[in-house]
Amino acid sequence: MTTAKIEFAVEMTCRKCVDSVRNALIGVNGIKNIDISLEKGSVIVETNLPYSIIQEKIEQTGRKVVLKGYGDSSSAVAMLGGNSGYTVDNKIMGVIRFAETPDGCLIDGTVDGLAPGKHGMHIHECGDISQGCDSVGEHFNPNNTLHGGPEDDAFRRHVGDLGNIMVNDSGRATFRIIDKLVKIPDVIGRSLIITEKPDDLGRGADPESKIHGNSGNKLACGIIARSSGLFQNTKKICACDGLTLWDERDKALKAKHDRYLEYYELHNTYLVIDGNSVCCSIYNLYAKCNCAFGGDYDNYAQCVSDFFNDLLRCKVTPLVLFDGGSENKKFRTVIKRTKQKIRAAWSFSPLNQRNMKFFPLMLQEVFIDIMREKNIRHVQCLFEADNDIASVARILNCPVLSYDSDFYIYGTLYIPFDTLDTYVVKNPNGNGYMKCCKIYKVENLLKSFKGLHQSMLPLAAILLGNDYVKRNTFKNFFRHLKLRGASRKKHNHRQCCIETTLRWLSNYTLDKAIIEVLSRLIKPIRQKILDLIEININSYTNASAEMLLPLGFSKDYVAHVNTYHLNRSFKFDGDISSLTYIEEVYKEGNNESSEEEDEDDEIEIANICSKTELVPQNVVEDYRYPSSIIVSLKIISVIFGILKSAIISRICYMKYMVRTQNKKIMCCKLQSTETMNNFRLPSLFNLRDIPSLTQREILNNTLGITDMDCINELPPEWMLYIGCIKYWIHQEECSLSHECYLYSIFICMLFNIVDSKIGRYRSMHTFQKKYCQLIETVKQQRKKNNCDSCYTMNQLCGNQYNGTIIEAYNEIDYNDCVLAAPFFISYFNMNKELYKNPKKFDRFTVHVFAEFQSCLRHAMNLNALLGYPYPQTKVANLFNGTLLYNLSNNFKTRFDIEEYINIVLQMSPSLLRLFNTFLLKVKSMFPFKFQDGTNLRKKHRTKPKHPKTKKSISSKSDSEYFSADDDLNEACYDPNNRFSMLNHI
């Protein structure tokens, strides 16, 4: 019989718990293998039994048990009742799980609260339970066949026909089914139904039997959603900086959280901000973005802006420090995390983003843009910023804001980001405002461990494992600690380690503690470990004032601080070679792992300069095609050609890691570009001495910009962006196929103009509430005055229009923006059908824009390296992934995209004038990329696997944004709609 691995989260605190669970499962018929991890709190069973039987066996030992998942990523789950599902009387509860096996789809579940006897179970076509079980549609029947039973072949049953489940006298149904037709990708996003009566499996004489098996009313339903696979932790995979060593990842101090935190009112102070951590935390906690489409940067920018506005309102002076490149000793860690993110990105879809986040490529660039707008002081460190953050906070005696557990041991005031209130309140003790939060003080930790000195905390961090020292390095030492002395009944194994380590350290001086630790290490590695201990202790404890200079403090102040704060380097004073090795007997089964926290991707220029290695950030893309970074290699080669002059060794190539189409990592070499158009690229040391025209020429040659007349006509903030578009589109093999994406990018460039004129609206209800009356008034007035647009492309060309893009840009009319806004607002929101049917998610479209983002990011890096020959692009003003995705899908259905856009914007003549003037000027930069207005659009087929584009046009969806004007189409002909001539009859 087919077996599957099932994982349970089990509350276990000691070795006796493990033995108790193992003894309960050993000997049970149907269980093949048992794997128990005390540290992870997991029990993995390979079995052919329903999971409920295994769960009952474990519960009989007195432990709490939670079902986690099947042993592969091809798994799904449906929840009946509770908050996730629906039942008619709120009494039915159940969990049904799906897993692919060699014999078919394994469907395993338990349902409680049903009447004894048989009940039908089916998969229905829709995953919509907004109206209970009435909105789930018909049986899932892609083959258009009659209703049948699970034993019937594919031509005599619906794929969703799962037969009956049997309910015992207590109201519980436990079942395990192997179905040959059900495929996990086909049913994710659909719904599972339990019916009132038995299913007659299509054997009845009446017509209803061939439709639904006379199974009666629907009693319970739940959406079939993708389930986390074995060992999968969505928080870790998404690289969330909210994972902290002590609070989140290991839950080690969570139970005592309030003991170490105090209520705090944040105002009138410096605040040192961990840029990488807070940048990601704002996205995770506040930004309501669609992660699957590459980045809704305008939404994120608004959240970042609100965050800093609140701080400034409270008279808090933010000082933001970012990580630089990753050090060589962390390279293995970086590769490990990259592999995890590659696996996550491969299957990420709109359905996943309800439960996890995936960071867009240019998150940090947008964060920095907002800081520059608000003159927030910030700096990027050469390598990891933690030491510098702690140093600045100690010198200024102010808090650190982060979500990184390292700051528990630095001895600084530390505000965990998740304790910071989202709003400001008036300061009751004076004028102004404040933010309420909780603050960590090391004194509160020391009070809990009598005799513990603050100088011991860096050693504790090393023993417990940080990014540089694996915890299992000291496994022999932990055997010596005898963990059974800790309060294991209250806390998990990891917490026992922390608690016992701190209690042990409270009995020693630093030197004596190091002797005890080293004596339990074999002699060949003692000196290496001692060096690591000394380096880590000094990095945790010494404060450097040099970072204050780039943060805007005067040289005199820094000199004064350096005089006042005299750092003392720790050096162990003892002979380690004479120590007697003590080997502890294995008793407690310490199973220390070396799992490490996920972190943000590092800034690429810093990595190239420090290690000549590049590990690109992973993004959501189509894995049938090469990685999106490939199209940017020419730009990266130029960047490396300039940076390598700072490297002593004569290296002429750099290494970069890239994902392959089978989810592996491949190391490649990239040759540096040293000459361009017969002149040698400048070195890094004299880059600022060359003329600005030369700097611009390097960037132009890299991007392939030759028409400077066109570039110079653009608004400054558009120049680099258009140059990137030119570079990107010329890297693509196809031309006509990318036409819809080009038009989407061009139209997307207009949304910030509308926002800047009328305000930022992303909800149609909110917009219409404010502007409905104005829209009617403007339209009536224009109708009365017989206003008409004269800015179509053909009219501009026919009139030999000589206006500039800048002129059209500066003459945008407020009322025109009000009339055009509904069009944009309607496309800022994701189509809910993507939740119901993930197969409709067009991953290729996301891949195309991921390639464009890669080009844009590296072009912006090169622009910065050259000293900004072009004004830097503000990504949040030009790129919204959801808007681009929806626009491109719309444009794919259009016979003539330009004519369609002219129809859409005809009531906003100033915007239409800008668009067509812009198009008229830039078309020369994209030869053979645009249709001529008369040719039929050819259907693009990149690969047989790529989904075919539907040609049907939904008049309903395209007219939503015109809902305020019933007479809009009275005098216009839409060439995309062959029935539009009926408007003239």
Mean pLDDT for 126-134 is 81
Residues in the chain, total: 985
* pLDDT surpassing 90 at residue 256: no
pLDDT(81) > 60: yes
User: In terms of pLDDT, which residue wins out, 255 or 303?
Assistant: 303
Domain contains 744: yes
- The pLDDT assigned to 159 comes to 93
- Where residue 678 falls (left for φ over 0; alpha for ψ -120 to 50; beta otherwise) is left
pLDDT above 50 (res 99): yes
Q: Are 3 and 70 in contact (CB under 8 A)?
A: no
Per-residue confidence (pLDDT) for residue 435, from 0 to 100 = 92
What is the average pLDDT across 517-544?
79
According to DSSP, residue 969 is labeled G
- Spacing of C-alpha 47 from chain mean position: 35
Res 57 pLDDT > 90: no
Domain boundary at 876, 895, 924, which? 924
Better-predicted residue by pLDDT, 793 or 762:
762
- Does 376 or 567 have the greater pLDDT score? 376
Q: 565-580 burial by CB neighbour count: b if 16+ within 10 A, else e? A: eeeeebebeeebeebe
CB < 8 Å & 24+ apart, contacts of 526-530: 526/576, 526/577, 526/579, 527/576, 529/473, 530/572, 530/576
Q: Among 957, 842, 953, 830, which Cα is nearest to 896's? A: 953
Number of C-beta neighbours around residue 546 at 10 A: 11
- Domain shared by 623 and 745, yes or no: no
Residue 403 reports pLDDT greater than 60? yes
Residue 240, pLDDT score: 34
pLDDT in tens, 564-622: 766 677 787 777 776 766 655 544 444 443 333 333 333 444 454 445 667 778 888 88
pLDDT at 19: 85
Specify the 3-state DSSP secondary structure of 162: strand
766 lies in the same domain as 828: yes
* Residue 216 maps to a domain: no
Which tens digits make up the pLDDT trace of 354-364? 667 788 999 99
Q: Are residues 759 and 834 in the same domain?
A: yes
455: nearest Cα among 398, 512, 500: 512
What is the pLDDT at residue 85? 76
Residue 353 lies in a domain: yes
Q: Where are the alpha helices (DSSP H) in 62-208?
A: 184-187
Whether residue 437 is contained in a domain is answered as: yes
Q: What is the spatial distance between Cα 182 and Cα 842, in angstroms, rounded to a whole number?
A: 23
Q: Tell me the C-alpha distance between 393 and 415, whole Å.
A: 12
- How far apart are the C-alpha atoms of 77 and 223, rounded to whole Å? 8
Nearest to 165 by CA among 194, 141, 191: 194
Residue 119 pLDDT level (bands cut at 50, 70, 90): very high
Other C-beta atoms closer than 10 Å to the C-beta of 137 total 15
For residue 308, name the pLDDT band (cuts at 50, 70, 90): very high
Backbone angles phi, psi at 489, to 5 degrees: -70, -25
Same-domain pairing of 640 and 749: no
Judge if 344 and 360 occupy the same domain. Answer: yes
The predicted structure's pLDDT at residue 824: 93
Give the model confidence (pLDDT) of 945-970 as tens digits: 444 333 333 333 333 333 333 333 33
Domain count, the chain: 4
β-partners of residue 225 are 77
The rounded percent of the chain whose pLDDT value lies above 90 is: 30
CA distances from 317 to 348, 385, 404 (A): 38, 19, 21
In this prediction, residue 493 carries a pLDDT of: 59
Handedness of CA 18, 20, 23, 28 (dihedral sign): negative
Indicate whether 424 and 456 sit together in one domain: no
Report helix, strand or coil for 414: strand
Residue 739 domain-assigned?
A: yes
**Other CB atoms within 10 Å distance of the CB of residue 752:** 18
My answer on whether 454 and 535 are in the same domain is yes
pLDDT of residue 465: 66
What is the spatial distance between Cα 157 and Cα 209, in angstroms, rounded to a whole number?
A: 11
pLDDT higher than 60, residue 881: yes
pLDDT bin (cut points 50, 70, 90) of residue 911 is very high
- The pLDDT value recorded for residue 566 is 61
At 382, which CATH number?
A: 3.40.50.1010
Closest CA to 860 of 847, 848, 874, 849: 874
Residue 884 belongs to a domain:
yes
DSSP 25-38: HTT-TTEEEEEEET
Beta bridge partners of 437: 264
pLDDT in tens, 479-500: 777 654 444 444 455 667 778 8
Higher pLDDT, residue 624 or 588: 624
Decide: pTM greater than 0.75: no
Note the pLDDT tens digit of each residue in 647-689.
656 677 788 888 887 778 888 888 888 888 778 888 888 888 8
Q: For residue 385, what are the domain limits? A: 263-442
* Among 890, 905, 924, residue at a domain's last position: 924
701, 754: one domain: yes
Q: Quick one: 709 and 675 in the same domain?
A: no
Q: Which two tokens stand for residue 617?
A: 């950030």
Asked if residue 122 belongs to a domain, the reply is no
| pLDDT over 80 at 214, yes or no | yes
The residue out of 924, 947, 967 marking a domain boundary is 924
Please report which helix (H) or strand (E) contains residue 709, including its range.
Answer: helix 708-713
Q: Are residues 742 and 641 in the same domain?
A: no
What does the radius of gyration of the chain's CA atoms come to, in whole angstroms? 32
**Residue 876 in contact with residue 372, Cβ under 8 Å?**
no
Has residue 821 got a pLDDT over 90? Answer: yes
| Mean pLDDT calculated for residue range 823-848 | 87
Q: How many CB atoms lie within 10 A of CB 427?
A: 15
The verdict on residue 974 lying in a domain is no
Residue 124 is predicted with a pLDDT of 94
Average pLDDT, the chain: 79
Q: Look-up: residue for tokens 């009845």?
A: 204
Query: Cα(first)–Cα(last) distance of the chain, in Å?
Result: 70
HSE (side-chain half, CA atoms, 13 Å) at 291: 23
**Burial zone of 800 (CB within 10 Å; 0-12 exposed, 13-18 middle, 19+ buried):** exposed
What's the rounded Cα separation, in Å, for the pair 106 and 277? Answer: 41
Residues 516 and 638 in one domain: no
In this structure, the answer to whether residues 427 and 314 fall within a common structural domain is: yes
pLDDT digits (tens, 9 = 90+) for 405-462: 778 877 789 999 988 988 888 888 878 999 999 999 888 888 888 888 888 888 887 7
Does 348 score more than 60 pLDDT? yes
Asked whether residue 503 carries a pLDDT value surpassing 50, the answer given is yes
